[in-house]
Structure 1
Amino acid sequence: EDRCIVAIEVNGEAKKFFTNSEEMKNILAQVKEMPDGFPFETTIKTETFGKGRTKYVFT
């Protein structure tokens, strides 16, 4: 699969999650191409769609 693993920090605690979101993967690919792109700081929000499904997006 083409999933990405994303390392995050929540309230000072290191965590990680896998994503197969095309939107997130495209953003991560763009950041990867930038000099000094990683690590970067952002906020991840949740959006609810469909029948109670949750989507995570960079802000």
Structure 2
Amino acid sequence: LLCTDLIRIAVFNKDAIDFYNMNCMLGFQVVGQHITFYLTTLLCDALYVMVEVSHVDV
């Protein structure tokens, strides 16, 4: 289930980058009291890279 949510974040960020003509987009996932931030960036044509930026326990 978490993998499906991660794929949704990746697709959402990719679509937002394309639609708004941005270089990168920040997404986050909340599971219980854990928040994980992901940065998706467009390196070159059709090459998107998504990395985990931070993990916070609230």
Quick check: TM above 0.5? no
Q: Relative CO higher for 1 or 2, CA cutoff 8 Å, sep ≥ 6?
A: 2
Bigger proportion of residues as strand: 2
TM (normalized to structure 2)? 0.30
TM-score of the superposed pair, with normalisation by structure 1: 0.29
Q: Which has the larger radius of gyration?
A: 1
Larger helix proportion of the pair: 2
